[in-house]
Amino acid sequence: MASPFDNLTQELARLPGIGRRSAERVALALVRKGDALMIPLIRALQSLHETVCVCRLCGSITTRDENPCRLCSDSRRNTSVLCVVEESGDILAIERSGAFKGVYHTLHGRISPMAGSGPNDIRLAELEQRISSGGFTEVILAIGTDVEGDATAAYLAERLSNFNVPLTRLALGLPADSGIGYSDPITLKRAIDGRQAL
C-alpha cells in the first residue's frame, strides 16, 4: 500500500508540466514547511473547487456567480469576431497582447491521435452550434503551429467551411527581438511565405 507521501507525489505528477522529480520536490516542500504551505494550499484548492467553473459560452475559466465570464459579458467586445483557442491559458496570452477585442471559444485540447484525442474530445459541437447561431463575420483559428496544431486547424477549417463564415489563422513568422540566424527552417519558411508589403 502506497504511503500518503507517495500518493501526493503521484497526484502532483499528473499535473501538466510536473514530472515525477518535480512532484517529489513539491511534496517534500509541503512536508518540510508543514502548515505554512499546506493549510493555504488546501484552502485555495477548496475555494477553487467550490467557486470556479467553465464559462457556458466560451469554455474558459470563470466563477459560478459570473457565468458567462467577464469577457463574454463585456458589451465593449466585438461579438462578430470569434477567436478559437486550444486552452484557457491561450486567452490570457492573447488578452495580455491587447491586440484582440472580439470573443473567444476554447476547444479544451486538440486533435492528437498519438494522445488518443479525436474530434469528439474537443468542444467542436459547441463551436459549430455557436457559429450556426449566426452573427460572426470572421472566425480566427489561434491554434498551435506544431503537427497536431496544424492537423487540428485543417480539420476545423474543413468542418467549418459549410457555415459561410470567413476563416483565418494567426500569422506565422519570426518572433520579436529574434535574429534570422536563430530561427528554425520551418519558421523561416513560414515567415517568407507570409511576408507582407511595407
Give just the sign of the alpha carbon dihedral 191, 194, 195, 198. Answer: negative
Residue 36 sits in the same domain as residue 82: no
Question: Residue 97's domain is classified under what CATH number?
Answer: 3.40.1360.10
pLDDT, tens only, 155-195: 999 999 999 999 998 887 767 776 767 777 877 777 777 76
pLDDT band at 109 (very low <50, low <70, confident <90, very high): very high
More confident residue, 26 or 118: 26
What value does the mean pLDDT take over residues 59-66? 96
47 plus 81 within the same structural domain:
no
Residue type, 52: V
Does residue 161 share a domain with residue 105? yes
Domain with 114 in it: 74-169
The CA distance from 133 to 120, in Å, is: 20
Structural domain contains residue 186 = no
Give the chain's domain count: 2
66-107 per-position pLDDT tens digit: 999 999 999 999 999 999 999 999 999 999 988 899 999 999
In a domain, 115, yes or no: yes
